[in-house]
A and B are shown apart, each in its own frame.
Chain A
Amino acid sequence: MKLLNIHTARAIWLFPLADFNPTGLAIPQEGFDKIGQRYKFEVVPTVVAAIEARKKNEPVHFISGAFPSRSGKDIVVDLKIYTDGLIGESRSNTADTDAFLRDFFDWAPTALGLPKLDVPIRKTMYVSEMYVETDQEMTALNPGLDKFCRLLGSAVPSGSSKSYELFGLHFSTDPKDGPPLVNFKFERQVNTHFSHHRYFSAAPIHTDHHLELLQNLEKLLAG
């Protein structure tokens, strides 16, 4: 399984933002600018934009900043601040995104003139998306699927016969248990010839675990 690129390494930290600012102290534009300077964000919202965003239940969104990854090189990061938590995003690794959120979480209250409080993170979640390449075929899981594809191809009235192939695998939880943040999916990259063996995968887990799972999947497909 060859990793082509990481599309998303998203970390979500849930906690009530109001706990950072229990007495509702004003955060002036300088505070936003400090955040912008620390992480060199290209787009720093204004206080006015933040107020408007809050009214519409939208986040305060800092775009295209920089943060050192585990390897020491700067990665591009985005930050969204909601009233119930933070979303950090990079194209590196969820561990790096976590480190970015941790840096912000530890630095921001003091830098913004807020009291230093011990606010517990209620929950952390992750979304990993990546493009990979593998020669293994999904129909290896069940050869009967090849037969089904042929039946499907011959059943579709389209004028010229098209051959169908298995497009993807999706895994989710029973609605009675509540849906996962995102389903696990492994599917062909759309608008790409099947012969290129390019696949897209999404999972509600850390990047490294996601890669491991995909390697396990490849082994299963290899038989």
Chain B
Amino acid sequence: MSTKSSLIQKLKKSKEYRDAFVASQISTGIPFQIRALREQHGLSQKDLAKASAMLQPRICAMEQAGYGNFTLNTLKKLAVAFDIGLVVRFAPYGELVQWADNFTPDTFRIPTAKDDPILNRRHNKAELRVDLPESQPLKSMPESLNKVSESALLRDAALTSNSSTSVHAPIGNAASLVGLAETANRHAA
């Protein structure tokens, strides 16, 4: 059974577990997010404590998975310290399940007001249709230049080939190279 199906099964069976599940998203998820945000901002626990008018031991305790004493006030102070927003609203269990299923560590990183793409978007008539995230042209999955990170090692590691990527004339037809021309969805070699 997939993790998601397993979770849904358990949520359907037990009200007690449903209540605990909601609490666990906070007591386990928030500590990870605080750590990720602190690292994102290059802050020590002491720096964060100062910025949020709390003590370092409290920040340390809050960063442990299972910390169960978050108050709304504390979360607001942390949001202010990180200069980010905070969403508190009721939601269906399904939404929490979807979030948990789609989660990646990058989810924990939040742009500050300075980097927020919506806050910093210059609006003109043409752009006011729909707020879409900045899109990159669909660059190639020919992985030779498909960066996973800035690491030269990872760029090198991602090199693959079908011995075909060199442009040769098709067998038996010396005349035409058109069929092997680069298209928009490929990097130039």
A interface residues, Cβ below 8 angstroms from B = 7-8, 10, 12, 14, 57-59, 80, 82-85, 87, 125, 127, 129, 170, 172, 177-183, 185, 187, 189-193, 200, 202
Contacts and interface: CB of A to CB of B under 8 A. Distances in A.
B157 A191 contact: no
B157 A179 contact: no
B154 A181 contact: yes
Nearest to B102: A177
A84 B161 CA distance: 24
Contact of B157 (A7, A129, A181, A193): A181
A10 B157 contact: yes
A202 B160 contact: yes
B156 A87 contact: yes
Contacts of B180: 190
Nearest to A170: B141
Contacts of A12: 153-154, 157
Interface of B: 102, 104, 106, 141, 143, 146, 148, 151-154, 156-158, 160-165, 168, 170-171, 180
A84 B158 contact: no
Given A12-B153, A59-B156, A191-B168, A129 B161 contact: yes
A182 B164 contact: no
12 contacts: A12-B157, A14-B153, A58-B152, A83-B153, A129-B160, A172-B141, A180-B148, A181-B148, A185-B162, A190-B165, A190-B180, A193-B171
Contacts of B157: 10, 12, 87, 125, 127, 181
Nearest to B176: A158
Nearest to A80: B156
Nearest to A82: B153
Contacts of A85: 153
Contacts of A57: 152
A182 B148 CA distance: 9
Nearest to A199: B162
Contacts of A127: 157-158, 160
Given A57-B152, A177-B104, A183 B141 contact: yes
A130 to B, nearest CB: 11
A16 B83 CA distance: 32
Contacts of B141: 170, 172, 183, 185
Contact of B160 (A8, A172, A193): A8
Contacts of B143: 181-183
Contacts of B171: 191-193
A7 B165 CA distance: 14
A181 B148 CA distance: 6
Contact of B148 (A58, A82, A129, A179): A179
Contacts of A181: 143, 148, 154, 157-158
Contacts of A202: 160, 162
Contacts of A191: 163-164, 168, 170-171
B163 A190 contact: yes
Contacts of A129: 160-161
